[in-house]
Amino acid sequence: QVQLVESGGGLVQTGDSLRLSCTASGLTFSTYARAWFRQAPGKQREFVAGILWNSGATKYADSVKGRFTFSRENSKNTVYLEMINLKPEDTAVYYCAARRSTLTSYPKSAEQYDYWGQGTQVTVSS
């Protein structure tokens, strides 16, 4: 059974930093991609950042480029999202996701991911 467990969310002020973690268990198969999504109240879940596991290629949403960094620790099957200079519009529930099979294009839609964590709340006050 695949489990993705996020941690690291919290309440911070504008300009602060946070690091989210997502540890996977039960991944007995090769993962094609891992990603972070977020969902604010009343909005659709949106792609934030991702990595193609074998190549290490990362991709970011335009809204977070230069502020968020996706990293990983293979030995712990853990991915991280380092977030700096947080803004109130970053407030959302953040989810990590994993996709098993390959694609010809970079997977940036929630529907393209097979496994999800329970989410961690990030709230940025102004």
pLDDT tens digits, residue range 89-118? 999 999 999 999 888 888 999 999 999 999
The pLDDT of residue 81 = 98
**Spatial CA neighbour of 6 closest among 94, 115, 107:** 94
Helix, strand or coil, per DSSP, at residue 110:
helix
Q: What is the CA radius of gyration of the chain?
A: 14
The pLDDT of residue 79 = 94
* pLDDT tens-place string over residues 14-60: 999 999 999 998 876 678 899 999 999 999 999 999 999 888 899 99
The pLDDT of residue 90 = 98
How much helix, strand and coil, in percent to the nearest 5, is found in the chain? 5, 50, 45
The pLDDT of residue 29 = 64
Cβ contact 48:64 at 8 Å? yes
CA distance 36 to 81: 8
